Amino acid sequence: LEQILTCQACLSHSKSLSDEENLKLFGKCNNPNGHGHNYRGRRLISILAPALRIDPVSGMVMNLTDLKEYMQEAIMEPLDHKNLDKDVPYFSEVVSTTENVAVFIWDNLQKLLPQGILYKVEVHETEQNVVVYKGEETIVK
């Protein structure tokens, strides 16, 4: 499954840093008017733990209709077409980097999916900038 998430604006800016330090760290993403992304969550079916077994009755690891509903609630409703820094309370205190978007999605999916089923969240900011989050383990590709 693939979800395309459009964030109208976000500002990469840490309240812990000066304006000069923020500009040096985040570059053009520290634009005072914000910047936008079309994040892609690719291969989201891989969020299911690889060791899970196929249910012999249903023939599925998980019902895809349920998974789509969980993704809608955990990802699309809170984030799609939003200014992350202004419209999503989580990002009022957390810098809206792709890494933190992955953590936000992970936390939201963890609340909805059956325990032990979530394996990873993979967020593509661009073709070259990809974050894979596996709970406390983050991998930047």
Residue 48 domain boundaries:
7-133
pLDDT band at 43 (very low <50, low <70, confident <90, very high): very low
Residue 138: inside a domain:
no
With pLDDT > 90 as the criterion, what percentage of the chain qualifies? 16
Residue 2: inside a domain:
no
CATH code assigned at 14:
3.30.479.10
The pTM of the full predicted model, rounded to 2 decimals, is 0.71
Q: Around 46, how many Cα atoms within 13 Å sit in the side-chain half-sphere? A: 11
What are the E-state strand segments in the chain?
3-10, 35-41, 82-83, 121-124, 130-134, 137-140
Residues with catalytic function? 29, 81, 125
Query: In the chain, how many domains are there?
Result: 1
pLDDT band at 116 (very low <50, low <70, confident <90, very high): confident
Q: What is the pLDDT of residues 49-99, one digit of tens each?
A: 666 778 888 888 788 888 889 988 998 899 888 888 889 999 999 988 889
Of the candidates 26, 50, 129, 112, the residue with the CA atom closest to the CA atom of residue 77: 112
